[in-house]
Amino acid sequence: MISEQNFNPIKTELTQGINLLEASAGTGKTYAIAMLALRFVVEKELNIGQILIVTFTRAATKELKERVRARLVEAKQYFSGQSTNIDDNIRLWAEQLIATGEISIATAIKRLNNALLSIDQAGIFTIHGFCQRLLKEHALESGQMFDVELSDEVATVRQQMADDFWRTQIYPRSAWEVSLLCHEYETPDALLNSLDNVANTLTIFPAVEDLDALLDTIKKLAIAAQESLANQGDTLSGCVNAGYFKQTYTKRFAENYKQLSQWLNETVKADKHFKCALPSATCFKDFSASTLSKEIRVANKEQLTFDSTVFDALANAINKVSLVLRRSLAQDLQENLDIRLQQLNVMSHDSLITRTAEALATTGGDLLISAIRQQYRVALIDEFQDTDQTQWYIFSHLFAAEEQSLYLIGDPKQAIYKFRGADIHSYLSAKTQAKQHYTLGHNWRSHPDLVEAINQLFQLNSNPFVFEDLNFNAVSPALSSEDGSLYNDDTMLPPLALWQLAESEKKSGYWTSGIAAEALKIAITNEIVELLTGSTKLKIKDKSRALKPADIAILVRTNSHAKQYQKCLKEAGIPAVLNSTESVF
| DSSP characters over 336-380 | HHHHHHHHTTEE-HHHHHHHHHHHHHSTTHHHHHHHHHHH-SEEE
- Rounded to whole angstroms, how far apart are CA atoms 130 and 318? 46
Within a 10 A sphere around the Cβ of 132, how many other Cβ atoms?
Answer: 20
The answer to whether residues 54 and 125 touch, using CB atoms and an 8 Å cutoff, is yes
Residue 84 scores a pLDDT above 50: yes
Q: Cβ of 426: how many Cβ atoms within 10 Å?
A: 22
Asked whether the predicted pLDDT for residue 89 surpasses 80, the reply is: yes
Q: Using an 8 Å Cβ cutoff, are 355 and 127 in contact?
A: no
474 vs 454: CA distance, rounded Å = 8
Instruction: Give the integer Cα–Cα distance in Å for 229 and 225.
Output: 6
Q: How much is the pLDDT for 312?
A: 92
Other C-beta atoms within 10 Å of 157: how many? 19
Whole-number pLDDT of residue 446: 92
Q: How confident is the model at residue 580 (pLDDT cuts 50, 70, 90)?
A: low
| Weakest-pLDDT range from 176-185, 230-239, 339-348 | 339-348
How does residue 142 score in pLDDT terms, banded at 50, 70 and 90?
low
- Beta pairing, strands 405-410 & 17-22: parallel
Task: Mark which of 300, 316, 343 sits at the end of a domain.
Answer: 343
Look at residue 296 in the predicted model and tell me its pLDDT. 80
Query: At residue 556, does pLDDT exceed 80?
Result: yes
The answer to whether 499 and 523 are in contact (CB under 8 A) is yes
CA-to-CA distance for 112 and 38, rounded, in angstroms? Answer: 8
- Whether 88 is covered by a domain: the verdict is no
Is 390 among the domain residues?
A: yes
Residue 112 lies in a domain: no
* Angle in degrees, 0-180, between the axes of helices 58-79 and 88-100, rounded to the nearest 10: 50
Helix (H) or strand (E) holding 562: helix 559-571
Looking at the fold, whether 534 and 576 belong to one and the same domain comes out as yes
Q: Report the alpha-carbon distance of residue 36 to residue 55 in Å, rounded.
A: 15
306 and 325 housed in the same domain? yes
Domain assignment of residue 69, yes or no = no
CA 573/CA 22 separation, integer angstroms:
43
- What φ, ψ does residue 117 adopt, rounded to 5°? -65, -25
Q: What SS3 state is found at 540?
A: strand
Residue 264 lies in a domain: yes
By percentage, how much of the chain surpasses pLDDT 90? 52
> Considering 449, 477, 505, which residue would you say is the last residue of a domain?
477
Residue 284: what pLDDT?
86
- Picking from 472, 380, 384, the residue whose alpha carbon sits closest to that of residue 421 is 384
- Calculated CA dihedral for residues 134, 137, 141, 146, nearest 10 degrees: 110
Q: Are residues 423 and 535 in the same domain?
A: no
One domain for residues 136 and 168: no
pLDDT of residue 147: 59
DSSP structure string for 240-306:
HHTT-S-HHHHHHHHHHHHHHHHHHHHHHH--TT--PPPPPHHHHHTTSHHHHHHHHHHTT-TT---
Q: Can you give the pLDDT at residue 468? A: 80
* Of the listed ranges 151-160, 411-420, 437-446, 537-546, the one predicted with least confidence: 411-420
Please tell me whether residues 162 and 288 are part of one structural domain: yes
pLDDT of residue 206: 58
Q: What is the mean pLDDT of residues 410-435?
A: 78
User: What are phi and psi for residue 399, nearest 5 degrees?
Assistant: -125, -5
Is a pLDDT exceeding 60 seen at residue 493? yes
Same domain, 181 and 295: yes
Strand partners for 554: 584
Average pLDDT of the chain is 88
Count of structural domains, the chain: 3
Residues 260, 209 share a domain: yes
Tallying the residues shown for the chain, one arrives at 585
CA distance 341 to 515: 46
Average pLDDT (510-524) is 90
Please indicate, yes or no, if residue 377 is contained in any of the structural domains. yes
Cα separation, 556 vs 563, whole angstroms:
10
Residue 447 has pLDDT above 50, yes or no: yes
Q: Judge whether residue 583 has pLDDT over 50.
A: no
Strand blocks (E) in 456-502: 476-477, 485-488, 491-492
The reply to whether 336 and 466 lie within a common domain is no
**In the predicted structure, residue 213 carries a pLDDT above the cut 50:** yes
Question: Looking at residue 302, what is its pLDDT?
Answer: 67
Among candidates 135, 212, 144, which has minimal Cα distance to 174? 212
End-to-end CA distance of the chain: 44
If we measure between CA atoms, which residue out of 355, 381, 353 comes closest to residue 61? 381
Give pLDDT, residue 349: 78
At 37, the amino acid letter reads: A
User: Number of C-alpha atoms within 13 angstroms, CB side, residue 288?
Assistant: 14
Q: For the chain, what is the radius of gyration of the CA atoms?
A: 32
Kindly state whether residue 505 falls inside one of the protein's structural domains. Answer: yes
Structural domain range at position 421: 4-64+121-143+350-477
Q: Is residue 369 part of a domain?
A: yes
Per the DSSP assignment, residues forming a β-bridge with 54 are 125, 381
Q: Classify each residue of 30-49 as buried b or exposed e, where b means 16 or more C-beta atoms within 10 Å of its C-beta.
A: bbbbbbbbbbbbbbeebebb
**313 and 169 in one domain?**
yes
Which of 65-74, 161-170, 281-290 is least confident? 281-290
Query: Per-residue confidence at 162, pLDDT binned at 50, 70, 90?
Result: very high
386 near 419, Cβ under 8 Å? no
Say if residue 486 is in the same domain as residue 416: no
d(CA 98, CA 116): 21
Pick the last residue of a domain from 422, 456, 477.
477
Q: If you average pLDDT over residues 343-347, what whole number do you get?
A: 79
**Mean predicted confidence (pLDDT) in 98-106:** 92
- For range 303-318, the mean pLDDT: 87
By mean pLDDT, which of 98-107, 283-292, 318-327 is the weakest? Answer: 283-292
Please count the other Cβ atoms lying within 10 Å of the Cβ belonging to residue 475: 22
Q: Residue 327 is part of a domain; what is its CATH number?
A: 1.10.3170
**CATH number for 360:** 3.40.50.300
What is the pLDDT at residue 506?
Answer: 76
| Mean pLDDT on 14-32 | 95
Report CA 184 to chain centroid distance, whole Å: 26
Biggest alpha carbon–alpha carbon distance for the chain: 102
Closest by alpha carbon to 188, among 341, 325, 336?
325
51 and 12, same structural domain?
Answer: yes
Q: Which of 109, 24, 343 minimizes the C-alpha distance to 351? A: 343
| Cα 564 from Cα 572, distance rounded (Å) | 13
Average pLDDT over residues 10-16: 96
Contacts of 217 (CB under 8 A, 6+ apart): 317
The answer to whether residues 179 and 262 belong to one domain is yes
Query: For residue 581, what pLDDT band results from cuts at 50, 70 and 90?
Result: very low
**Is a pLDDT exceeding 70 seen at residue 197?**
no
